[in-house]
Amino acid sequence: MSAEPAQLAPLRDQLAVWAAGTGLSAGRVQDLLLGVHEAMANVVVHAYADRGGTFGLHGRRTGDSVTVTVSDHGHWNPVARSSLWGGRGLPLIHALADRATIETSAAGTTTVTMTWTCESLRPR
């Protein structure tokens, strides 16, 4: 997918339909949507600087878990923060997902993998 701001809302809408059928509760679906949106927004803002690029979005349900992966082939470019709101994306992703990993490579690939466990199947 093209790493452009205009792509994020339609993708989030499609992801919402898919996530609603995974077995996650409505609240956990909202956590998933916000976490994945943050990961996609990070690609748009940080991965490609002034040049265009693409990113991948993949979701799957395996057993009692729902996993979504966002990947790009850009390089992290810090952006000057114009307000107090910047710099919270990665901590937010970690707080919203049961598990979140961020992998980078020397080639510039970044992969953010977020996993949520369905409540009805979680150990108590």
Sign of the torsion formed by the C-alpha atoms of 12, 17, 22 and 26 = positive
Which of 8-22, 24-38, 40-54 has the weakest average pLDDT? 40-54
pTM above 0.75, yes or no: yes
Task: Give the tens place of pLDDT for each residue, 51-102.
Answer: 789 999 999 999 999 999 999 999 887 776 665 556 678 899 999 999 999 9
What's the whole-number mean pLDDT along residues 18-32?
96
Going from N- to C-terminal start, the domains of the chain cover: 5-121
Nearest CA among 65, 15, 71, 20 for reference residue 43: 71
Q: Name the class of domain 5-121.
A: alpha beta
Task: Give the tens place of pLDDT for each residue, 62-75.
Answer: 999 999 999 999 98
Contact of 74 with 43, CB cutoff 8 Å: yes
What's the whole-number mean pLDDT along residues 101-115?
91
